[in-house]
Structure formats: C-alpha cells, structure tokens
C-alpha cells in the first residue's frame, strides 16, 4: 500500500518541479550551457562546448555533443572545424548542407572581424592583427595560397588579394605580375603571404629565392617588400625576422 502511495505522489512532485519525462535530456543541457556562457563567457568552456553552442541553432532537436566531439577528433581543433573545406564537412554523418553553410558563415565572419582590425591602420604598427587575420584566412587551407597585402605610402592596407592557388605543396608565383599589380594599385609597399598546408611554416629555398626576385624587380620601381610571411597550423615564419631578406 505504501509503494502505491509513493508512486503518484512522487510523479506529482516531479511535475511541480517542472520535470517532464517526454522532454529530451539534452534540452536542459542546452540551456545550462548557454547560461554558463552568459555568466562566464568562453574562457571556461572546452572547444567541444563552444562547438555545441554553434551547432544548437543549426540542429535544434538533437543532442549535438557527440557530433561536436566527433568533429574535433576528425579535424583537430575548433578553428580547423570551422575552416575545413565544405566537401570534407559534408562527408561527416549528421552534417547537412545547411549546417555546413552555417559553419562557413562563421568562418567568413571570423575573417571579416580580423580583417577589420587591419584596414585603415598602419599595418606595420598592427603586426599582431595582421598575423591573426592571415591565420584566420589561410592557416587551415588544404592547398597553398599566395596572397599579397598592398600598402600605400602610410603603410595602410589598400587591397588584400589572393594571387594564386596551387597544390598541397606548391603555388606558382610570377614576380613580374606581383609588381605589375602593385603599380596598378599605386602601392608603395607589399607584404607577401602564403600558407604551408603541411603545418610546418619553415621557408623553402624556393620561397627565399622567389622573394628575393620580387625585391630585385620591385625596388627600382619604388616598391618596398616589407616581409614574406608563411602561415601554418603550427605557427608562422617571417623571412625578414629570420634575416633571410
């Protein structure tokens, strides 16, 4: 008799406390995680928790924690998930085209945010922001890109252009075309940037020789090559900082 009495009263107590057995367990988890972010920001959150927060809006009715952890295991870090090529993301079970599009929008926003910290400022005085921007734009690309930051006489950014896209370990660069484009934009200085998909930012002999060729062509025309930066997952290298140019 006591057991029969306990059942209904226990169920009534659960209802009074807001418990609904039909509510998915992850619904409460979502709100707790959002509240944690509202109270403390991103600092105490693990990468998979931040990724969960991003996935909540794209996948409203599913526990996304396993998917977040799977993505990090596949790509290595939150930054690498967001920057991963769409085709690789779409190969992950559970990631629809719409979810991938949302992730790529976040990546585009990150590039725009870091780029906004560089535009309109003297680039040489905002070196950390330049590196952050280049890392967001290029560090996790699977093919080499060669881009140029064109600067005016105040060393402010005129234009940022990707000149060439190559293979996993090579990008064709045409020094005379680099200088021709600088003249078209009335640039008085450039910063050369390319990425190493291998993860190692160490410059190759070809990187050094190509940079010196561009300097030799640009200098008589009043165009300064401030630096050649190599961006990779594991850091960056500055040819000027290494005293290679």
Tell me: pLDDT of 208 over 70.
Answer: yes
The pLDDT tens digits of the residues spanning 24-51 come to 555 678 888 888 888 888 888 888 998 9
E-strand stretches of the chain: 145-151, 157-165, 189-195, 224-232, 235-238
The pLDDT tens digits of the residues spanning 230-243 come to 999 888 999 999 99
Closest CA to 133 of 121, 115, 146: 115
d(CA 113, CA 133): 8
The pLDDT tens digits of the residues spanning 155-206 come to 888 888 998 888 877 888 999 999 999 999 999 999 999 999 988 999 999 9
d(CA 65, CA 188): 50
Given a contact cutoff of 8 angstroms between Cβ atoms, the answer to whether 53 and 37 are in contact is yes
Give the pLDDT confidence score for residue 116 in this predicted structure: 66
The pLDDT tens digits of the residues spanning 126-157 come to 788 888 888 888 888 888 999 999 999 988 88
Tokens of 97: 């085209």
User: What is the Cα Rg of the chain in Å?
Assistant: 25
Query: % helix / strand / coil in the chain, to the nearest 5?
Result: 50, 15, 35
């Amino acid at each position: 008799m006591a057991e029969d009495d306990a059942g209904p009263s226990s169920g009534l107590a659960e209802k009074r406390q807001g418990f609904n057995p039909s509510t998915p367990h992850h619904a409460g988890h979502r709100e707790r995680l959002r509240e944690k972010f509202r109270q403390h920001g991103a600092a105490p959150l693990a990468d998979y928790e931040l990724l969960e927060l991003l996935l909540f809006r794209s996948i409203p009715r599913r526990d996304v924690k396993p998917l977040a952890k799977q993505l990090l295991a596949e790509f290595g870090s939150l930054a690498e998930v967001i920057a991963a090529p769409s085709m690789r993301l779409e190969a992950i079970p559970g990631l629809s085209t719409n979810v991938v599009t949302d992730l790529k929008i976040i990546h585009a926003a990150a590039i725009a945010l870091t780029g906004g910290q560089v535009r309109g400022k003297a680039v040489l005085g905002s070196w950390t922001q330049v590196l952050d921007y280049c890392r967001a734009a290029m560090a996790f690309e699977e093919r080499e890109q060669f881009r140029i930051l064109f600067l005016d006489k105040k060393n402010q950014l005129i234009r940022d252009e990707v000149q060439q896209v190559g293979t996993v370990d090579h990008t064709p660069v045409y020094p005379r075309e680099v200088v021709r484009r600088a003249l078209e934009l009335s640039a008085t200085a450039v910063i050369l940037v390319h990425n190493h998909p291998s993860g190692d930012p160490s410059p190759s002999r070809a990187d050094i020789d190509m940079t010196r060729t561009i300097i030799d062509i640009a200098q008589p025309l009043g165009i300064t090559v401030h630096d050649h930066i190599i961006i990779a997952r594991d850091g960056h290298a500055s040819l000027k900082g290494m005293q290679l140019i």
